[in-house]
């Protein structure tokens, strides 16, 4: 399981010109590791996740998810790869208000002829993995912000993705709960061999990440600082 971005450039139309959101980005994330990408607002973090998650096709460069070069796939093949191999944890949990915690995970499950019972067992395992087995029957309004974020993470991991993309997972949480969520993501990443990318503007919570990379004006900076070779961060 791994994620590779090679020489990725992404531009958006901007008042008759093009705005470069990602500038010759190279990033390799081996399975079982967390790479944190840290940068200020507008630096390209969401763009990076959108490209890595195969939601947006870059102008140039290649994206390889779990050994498959996404660039050559049709739209339908990309959607299938995303469903099978990519988990995304959005900033806000976006849980469905009427569903219990375990049902949030069940709706994400690949049906694929699997009996409902097996899907439920898998969902319960997923909740247990994030310490939420005791809250399986609760609806979102009966959970704390940290608990909702745990359900969010469990849901993203329900189909055992090769790649996990996490957008500002701690923004709605206080420091202690935020640190617990990052520690949880790191543990699950190691246990499952997932290639995890976490983007944030907050450096204080990143002690648990295997690697921290900075992003400024669409360019990566190894080590998270403003110095260093632009754009290129080889696999750890
Ligand atoms: N759909 C779009 N059309 C035009 N420009 C865009 C679009 N999306 C993002 N941009 C621009 O691309 C650059 C990178 O944006 P991006 O959303 O990736 O940054 P970010 O680091 O995620 O910011 P934030 O932390 O505020 O979410 C910014 O200059 C932004 O204004």
- The DSSP annotation for 142-175 comes to GS-HHHHHHHHHHHHTTT--SEEEEE-TTTTS-H
Q: How far apart are CA 14 and CA 33, in angstroms?
A: 36
Between residues 111 and 170, the one the model is more confident about: 170
Q: What is the number of the ligand 1 atom nearest to the C-alpha of 22?
A: 14
| Residue (of 168, 164, 178, 149) closest to 43 by Cα position | 168
The minimum-distance atom of ligand 1 relative to the CA of 46 is 22
**Could you tell me the domains of the chain?**
2-92+162-233 (3.40.50.300)
Q: Facing residues of 5 across strands?
A: 27, 63
pTM of the shown model: 0.88
pLDDT tens for 191-212 read 999 999 999 887 776 777 899 9
User: Closest Cα to atom 27, ligand 1: which residue?
Assistant: 41
Q: What is the ipTM of this complex?
A: 0.95
Listed range (1-5, 17-21, 40-44, 231-235) with the worst mean pLDDT: 231-235
């Amino acid at each position: 399981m791994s994620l590779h971005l090679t020489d990725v450039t992404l531009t958006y139309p901007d008042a008759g010109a093009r705005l470069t959101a990602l500038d010759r980005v190279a990033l390799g994330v081996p399975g079982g590791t967390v790479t944190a990408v840290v940068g200020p607002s507008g630096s390209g973090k969401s763009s990076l996740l959108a490209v890595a998650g195969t939601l947006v096709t870059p102008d140039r460069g290649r994206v390889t998810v779990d050994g498959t070069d996404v660039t050559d796939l049709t739209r339908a093949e990309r959607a299938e790869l995303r469903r099978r191999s990519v988990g995304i944890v959005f900033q806000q949990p976006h849980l469905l208000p009427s569903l219990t915690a375990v049902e949030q995970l069940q709706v994400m499950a690949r049906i694929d002829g699997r009996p409902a019972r097996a899907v439920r067992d898998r969902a319960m395992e997923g909740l247990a993995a994030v310490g939420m087995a005791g809250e399986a029957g609760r609806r979102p309004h009966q959970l704390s912000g940290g608990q909702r974020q745990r359900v969010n993470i469990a849901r993203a991991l329900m189909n055992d993705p090769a790649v996990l993309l996490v957008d500002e997972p701690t923004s709605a949480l206080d420091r202690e709960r935020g640190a617990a969520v990052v520690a949880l993501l790191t543990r699950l990443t190691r246990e499952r061999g997932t290639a995890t990318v976490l983007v944030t503007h907050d450096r204080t919570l990143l002690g648990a990440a295997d690697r921290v990379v900075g992003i400024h004006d669409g360019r990566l900076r190894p080590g998270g600082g403003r110095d260093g070779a632009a754009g290129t961060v080889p696999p750890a």
